[in-house]
Amino acid sequence: MGQPDGRDYEWLELAIEESLRCPPSDRAYSVGAVIVDERGTEVSRGHSRESGAHVHAEEAALGKVPAGDPRLPAATIYASLEPCSRRASRPLSCTELIIAARIGRVVFAWREPDIFVPGADGRERLARAGVAVREVPELAGRARAVNAHLWRPYG
C-alpha cells in the first residue's frame, strides 16, 4: 500500500478541519472529506450532517460532483474517518458510494471504532474492489479529538 506523501497529509489536515464544521451529535461521528483530482486540485468537500441529520461526509462531497465525472477514477477522497461499510440510515454505505463513483484512491486518518457499527471494514471492502487505500495513523489523534464528545459522560 505504500506510504502517504506530503500532499496526503495536507489534504487530510483539510478534511479534519472540515470535520470541525459538523453540527454536534451524540449518535454520530464528526467527519470531513475532500475529493482531489489527479492534478492536485480540489473537486469538492463535505462534512457529516452538512445537509441533513443522516448525511455522511463522503456522501456530501460526492453529492456535489456530477455522476460519471471523468475526474473521479484518478481522484483521491481524503476522509478524517475510515469510510463506513454499513449503515442503517441509507441504502448505500460510503464505501459502496465510493466504489460506485469509481474513485481510485482513498486516504483516511482514523479507523472506525466499534461504537456504532461493530466490525467496520471499509478499508478491506475498498481494497477488495480495487481501490488503493492508505491509512495515515499519525493524524488519527486529531480526527479522534474532533469526536471527543462521544467519549464524554453525559449528564
Torsion sign over Cα 55, 67, 20, 113? positive
Q: Following DSSP, what letter does each residue of 23-53 receive, concatenated?
A: PP-SSS---EEEEE-TTS-EEEEEETTSSST
**Residues designated catalytic:** 58
Cell 478499508 sits on residue? 123
SS3 22: coil
Helix (H) / strand (E) containing 133 = strand 132-135
Q: Strand, coil or helix: what is 147?
A: coil
Residues 117 and 86: beta-carbon distance below 8 Å: yes
